[in-house]
Amino acid sequence: MMKDLYKELEKDVRYLEGLKSCFNCGVCTAICPAAEVSDYDPRIVVNIVQQKDEAELEKLLKSDTIWMCGECLSCKTRCPRGNTPCYIIQALRALSIETGFFIESQQGRKQLAVKRIVGEHILKYGYCVFIDEIDTEMYPEQGPIWDWLRQNKESILERLGTSYNKEQSGTLRNISQESLNDLKKIFDETGATQRFEKIEKYSSGKAKELNIEFNDGNDDYFKYLYNK
Ligand code: SF4
Ligand code: SF4
């Protein structure tokens, strides 16, 4: 067990900003859309964190719970004590990745999929999710029309007035190399690059434990995560 999880948590400005004092009123849970559709409960998360019990905190970092929040920030608008449960969750997520505890939960393990889709698309294209990489083999939820759209994307996106594949302003335009370099610098400076490396490293260990092939891109472990 990693020592002094609280000390680590308290280094995160989001935690310091997010938790003043909670009196357990439950207003955040009442407004929370994630709580509406699951048994996720931000009030309980805040309550666990402010108790400062290392064992309970470790349990939380290893749980599915911290990955259920949609980061909508509705909780920030209503808390009568000025807390922001969302910021606390963000700090907990960061610590779960730092410590490698994220691989202990099913939702936490999906961080690898988020990193390899959203994270890498941002660095490669400047968009969170880019049309060229989304096919129906991996993303069947796009529906059957998606295949047709991809096969005819140049003419369709032209007719829709987008700037796909063009060096001009507008939707889906090519992002300049200079801007992509800036994005990479932001990732480096904020610790995101290092966090990506940790996600890969700990996920590789988990794949080994499960005896599933692990390389990069859409390897078997990625497919296992994405499809389960
Ligand atoms: S609304 Fe604020 S005070 Fe009430 S339970 Fe949530 S965090 Fe605590
Ligand atoms: S930010 Fe997270 S915890 Fe807050 S209301 Fe939205 S889903 Fe719920």
Task: Summarize pLDDT for 112-149 with one digit per residue, the tens.
Answer: 999 999 999 999 999 999 999 998 988 888 898 999 99
Classified as helix, coil or strand, 164 is: coil
C-alpha to C-alpha distance for 124 and 33, rounded to whole angstroms: 32
108-75-40 Cα angle (round to 5): 40
Distance 223 CA to ligand 1 centre (A): 38
Neighbours of 156 (CB within 10 A): 14
Q: Which atom belonging to ligand 2 lies closest to the Cα atom of 70? A: 7
Domains of the chain in sequence order? 5-103 (1.10.1060.10), 110-125+190-228 (no CATH), 128-174 (no CATH)
Q: Which residue has the tokens 């859309």?
A: 33
- Which tens digits make up the pLDDT trace of 70-84? 999 999 999 999 999
Instruction: Of 70, 138, 108, 86, give the one whose Cα is nearest residue 198.
Output: 108
pLDDT given at position 99: 96
Pocket test for ligand 2, best of 27, 32, 47, 48 (most atoms within 8 A of CB): 32
Residue 10 DSSP class: T
- Report yes or no on whether pTM surpasses 0.85: yes
**Is the model's pLDDT at 1 over the cut of 70?**
no
